[in-house]
Amino acid sequence: MPSTRDIRRRIKSVRNTAQITKAMQMVAAAKMRRAQQAALAGRPYAALMNEVLAEASSRMTGFSHPFLQSRPVRRRAVILVGSDRGLCGALNSNLMREAAKFDKATTTFITAGRKASQFIARTKRSLAAEFTYKDTPLFAEARAISKFAQDLFLKREVDAVDVLFTNFITTLDLRPQSVPFLPVEKLRTVTAGVHAHAGAKDLPGGTHIPFFFEPDEETVLGAMLPHSLNFHIYQILLEAKASEQSARMVAMKNATDNAMQLIKDLTLEYNKLRQSNITKELLEIASAQMAVG
């Protein structure tokens, strides 16, 4: 049975841990707000760019581009977007569980984030390249990842490219999601977390505003398609970072709550033991007095 000194030491240890997790919770909450704002701010631009591309493609017949050419998939590349650090609950384990579903023999991985690279090394899967990205992802980082994947596809080293990441829905709803990246079989108007309608804009009252392209639709589509792929990866990095910070904030909050509950339980146990010791001492004093009397 533990002594009162042992319980006091454990209470002190748990209280110190609670202070650390509380501080980490506050830091993660601040980063989470910035990451969520960045992810939400990028969605309208991505949606509008997809609308323009979808409208341009709908007006053209016979448009050909290397990124639109599909072929039988003998080898696939997967851009795996994980986090650099842990302490974010089941975020990475859920993501890696989805990554393990890809055929090991025919899949090569492009990793973003240290945890993704560690998973590939631990499971001895094929690694084409590994990248890092900051707490505030930069477009240059996304462009490097996208360019590497595009080169693999254009050189026919792979026949398809997918992106596996954790999509940010809400703070408590973070979903591992795999989306196709190359080839672009058809220009969709759906980006990570965004649903938009293709075509021209409609103003209130039903006023229809058509799109006009200069110099022509083919030139605009050919120039914007690579940029849209780069921005697609950038938006995915923003979504993944928002998911990571949200998961870390929730994990640290749960850890702090559990630590405080454990302190309450230990304090109750300490008081019971202390009261028991006092009662025992009183009984011994009373017994001694009766023996003397």
Residue 267 belongs to some domain of the structure: no
Rounded CA separation 177/96 (Å): 11
Residue 46 belongs to some domain of the structure: yes
What number is the average pLDDT over the span 218-236? 88
Q: What is the largest CA-CA distance in the chain?
A: 114
Q: Which range among 189-193, 209-213, 224-228 shows the weakest confidence by mean pLDDT? A: 189-193
What does residue 64 show for φ and ψ, rounded to 5 degrees?
-125, 140
| Whether this model's pTM surpasses 0.75 | yes
Which residues in 82-200 belong to E strands, given as ranges?
Answer: 107-112, 126-131, 160-170, 173-182, 190-191, 194-195
Residue 282 belongs to some domain of the structure: no
What's the alpha-carbon Rg for the chain, to the nearest Å? 28
Residue 133 belongs to some domain of the structure: yes
Residue 66 belongs to some domain of the structure: yes
Structure tokens at 202: 């409609």
CATH number at residue 132: 3.40.1380.10
What pLDDT was estimated at residue 233? 94
Residue 178 belongs to some domain of the structure: yes
Residue 260 belongs to some domain of the structure: no
Rounded CA separation 116/98 (Å): 12
Rounded CA separation 285/202 (Å): 90
Residue 210, pLDDT above cutoff 80: no
What pLDDT was estimated at residue 186? 60
* Enzyme catalytic residues: 88
Residue 10 belongs to some domain of the structure: no
Return the closest-CA partner of residue 142 out of 58, 67, 81, 231.
231
- Evaluate whether 230 touches 143 at the Cβ level (below 8 Å): yes
Q: Give me the number of domains the chain comprises.
A: 1
Residue range 45-78, pLDDT digits in tens = 888 888 878 777 777 776 778 888 888 999 999 9
Domain, as residue range, for 64: 24-250
Rounded CA separation 162/79 (Å): 6
What pLDDT was estimated at residue 65? 81
Structure tokens at 73: 């998939």
What pLDDT was estimated at residue 107? 95
What pLDDT was estimated at residue 208? 53
Output DSSP code: residue 82: -
